[in-house]
Structure 1
Amino acid sequence: MTKKRCAVLGATGSVGQRFTLLLEDHPQLELIALGASARSAGKPYKDVVTWKQTSPIPSNSAGIVVRECKAKHFEDLDLDLVFSALDSSVAGQRKRFPRLQLQLRRRRCRLPIVALQAEFGRVSDVEVFTEQALSGAGYPGVSTMDIVDNVIPYISGEEDKLEPEARKILGSLATVNDDDGDLTVKEHDTLNLDATCTRVGVSDGHMVYVSLRFERRPPPSAEQVKAALRNYTSEVQRLGCPSAPRRAIVVFEEADRPQPRLDRDLEGGFAVSVGRIRAGREDGHFDLRFVALSHNTTVGAAGSSILNAEAAIQKGLL
């Protein structure tokens, strides 16, 4: 197979760095261009990136000369695909890239709920409490004086994003908008969601504590839920995408799992870990409670975008 030629916008940030790692020696995608701010343009990637990953800068990315994130600076390249890791404040630039096929889609730890809806029908009410990793704030991100020996109980704008985001992710695919390549979904418009989002001193790995209620009565038992999560097969697994994990969801029986340091890199960071699955109180509103963990810059960001590209290739859409 001839590899698809691709670029990454916002390449110097934490998600952009994760893109370069995941695209190194990729069997279907070849990274040929990197975009960043004007102050980084014209210099080799290794000289402008403040590298914060545990693995070294990929050799095939280190020497790429960075371009400013404007479409005119990429016109000389025959690109098949552009990945965007741009911050939302400047992400409007991506609309000017005529070959932009996929954008970063924030999936976080929603996969378990998607799996449960596939097996047991729609969820009506969700309450989530998140403990979000430092890498989610980018670099330089949160001040050391703020986060050491501390938890920050509020992330600006994060709680407001969760409800519309969840309605889309837990909805159903409708059409593809050919103008900009975005998916159009039929939202889960009756979903009730309450969220509290916090920042904690963990490098990578978002934890989410979930309580939910099913529309179905009576609801499934905790054991039925565990079985459904273990047996869930995602679309990218069915398609045989090269980055697809062997297990999309890893279910723990241990009372003290999952944990970010121990479990965020399961299946190369492409799995979501779930534990403490238990029924809600008989006299309570919620049917089920569980804890979920995902690697926020892999399955929660760059990795999901790459899986989307692989799925498009497998389907002959790219």
Structure 2
Amino acid sequence: MTVRVGLLGATGAVGQRFVQLLDDHPTFEIAAVTASPESAGESYRDAAKWRVDTPIPERIAELTVRETSPDALPDDLDLLFSSLPSSVGAEIEPELCRAGYVVSSNSSNERMAEDVPLTIPEVNPDHLDLIDTQREQRGWDGALVKNPNCSTITMTPTLAALDEFGLERAHVSTLQAVSGAGYSGVTSMEIIDNVLPHIGGEEEKMETESRKLLGDVEDGELSLHDVDVSASCNRVPSLDGHLENVFAELDDDPSADAVHEALANFEAVDLPSAPAQPIHVFDDPERPQPRLDRMRGKGMQISAGGLQATDEGVQYNCLAHNTIRGAAGASVLNGELLVEEGWV
């Protein structure tokens, strides 16, 4: 089965990751790429200014960049992947859904909308049931599905694994790579020999998106998890890979061994891009590290380590590749889930 896909916002940093991940994908075939009106009409090779660490796929390089609008896209696309800026996505994605397209989006707009699935396949695949509610309420035949923020997706699967112990509160401090801000997002003068102790909007995303991801969908309605999440987000001079220090308060009093087992045995999903083991747990207290561990599971596995039982619960570190697992790879995985569940 071949699913023809379009890639929205294909020339940016996350868009290029999409191209890299979708090249030779067993199901998805890139049939169209879009970008800003300034790039429309150019070859993808000329428009993209390719910066990913593998060669640009020749077939994609020769595609002509289209404008991002329903009228500019081929009629025979089965699925759209979006890496649009949120301000653009907020305008264009609903138009595409009204035109009948199914959109798996990395953009931040509408992540917290009650009728929009915010999905990590290993955590809450049943939230795709919100598509029926979305279609009924919005009167369109398409569908809009979101993946969470790159920092949220690093932490939330670990919290989901710990929920069996009665998850009450989570405090997290992040050390986030510069690629999370985009190629031009942080200048060298800002970040070399420095740490930026604030990332606008990031704390709120972690605090709200995690509760939605861990929540329940019943009879087409969403209820948030009652966990209290507080976050402090920091930009550090690593290229890729968000490292996070988590303090989870639990109702139960599990041992470090029990926590290790819960994380290491967190259930996988049978999808082409999914790692066989969603969370790898290190015994070495000096791991995980961004440079050494961000590409585990082809960049799709989450790493955890430094487990310590506390009087209130557990302390640990977690790490994921922010532009693969935390962005393009997350949308691709959601696209695979949409196909698996029959929405595409």
In the superposition, the TM-score normalised over structure 2's length comes to 0.82
Whether the 8 Å contact between 1:94 and 1:100 is mirrored in structure 2 is no
**Structure-1 separation of matches of 2:274 and 2:13:** 22
Q: Secondary structure at the match of 1:55?
A: coil
Change (3 A) 1:276 1:132: same
| 2:79 aligned with 1:34 | no
Q: Unaligned stretches of 5+ in structure 1?
A: 177-183
Root-mean-square deviation over aligned CA pairs? 1.5
Whether the 8 Å contact between 2:82 and 2:103 is mirrored in structure 1 is no
- Name the aligned partner's letter for residue 288 of structure 1: V
Name 1:80's counterpart in structure 2: 78
Which range moved further: 126-135 or 163-172? 163-172
**Structure-1 separation of matches of 2:201 and 2:41:** 34
Name 2:22's counterpart in structure 1: 23
**Structure-2 separation of matches of 1:205 and 1:185:** 31
Shift of 1:175: 6.0
**Structure-1 separation of matches of 2:303 and 2:334:** 20
Shift of 1:143: 0.6
Shift of 1:48: 1.2
| 2:174 aligned with 1:130 | yes
Q: Secondary structure at the match of 2:338?
A: helix
| 2:258 aligned with 1:227 | no
- Name the aligned partner's letter for residue 317 of structure 1: W
- Name the aligned partner's letter for residue 225 of structure 1: V
- Name the aligned partner's letter for residue 99 of structure 1: Y
Task: Report 1:166-315 matches (<5 A).
Answer: 166-174=210-218, 185-188=222-225, 190-214=226-250, 216-217=251-252, 219-234=253-268, 237=269, 240-280=270-310, 282=311, 286-315=312-341
Name 1:181's counterpart in structure 2: none
- Name the aligned partner's letter for residue 101 of structure 1: V
Shift of 1:308: 1.4
Whether the 8 Å contact between 1:38 and 1:68 is mirrored in structure 2 is yes
Name 2:102's counterpart in structure 1: 100
Whether the 8 Å contact between 1:168 and 1:186 is mirrored in structure 2 is yes
Q: Secondary structure at the match of 2:105?
A: coil
Task: Report 1:153-172 matches (<5 A).
Answer: 153-172=197-216
Runs in 1 of length 4+ with deviation above 6 angstroms? Answer: none
Whether the 8 Å contact between 1:222 and 1:288 is mirrored in structure 2 is yes
Name 1:147's counterpart in structure 2: 191
**Structure-2 separation of matches of 1:144 and 1:191:** 37
Q: Secondary structure at the match of 1:110?
A: helix
Q: Secondary structure at the match of 2:334?
A: helix
- Name the aligned partner's letter for residue 80 of structure 1: D
Whether the 8 Å contact between 2:280 and 2:301 is mirrored in structure 1 is yes
**Structure-2 separation of matches of 1:156 and 1:304:** 22
Whether the 8 Å contact between 1:109 and 1:300 is mirrored in structure 2 is no
Whether the 8 Å contact between 1:24 and 1:60 is mirrored in structure 2 is no
Whether the 8 Å contact between 2:93 and 2:103 is mirrored in structure 1 is no
Number of equivalences:
296
Change (3 A) 1:175 1:89: farther
Name 2:12's counterpart in structure 1: 13
Q: Secondary structure at the match of 2:87?
A: coil
**Structure-2 separation of matches of 1:199 and 1:166:** 20
Percent identity of equivalent pairs? 42
Name 1:111's counterpart in structure 2: 157
Q: Unaligned stretches of 5+ in structure 2?
A: 107-146
Shift of 1:250: 0.6
Whether the 8 Å contact between 1:11 and 1:17 is mirrored in structure 2 is yes
Change (3 A) 1:35 1:228: same
**Structure-1 separation of matches of 2:5 and 2:154:** 24
1:92-131 deviations in Å (ceiling 9; x for gaps) = 11111130332221223321111222x334x111111011
74, 82, 87: which one aligns with 1:89:
87
**Structure-1 separation of matches of 2:191 and 2:217:** 39
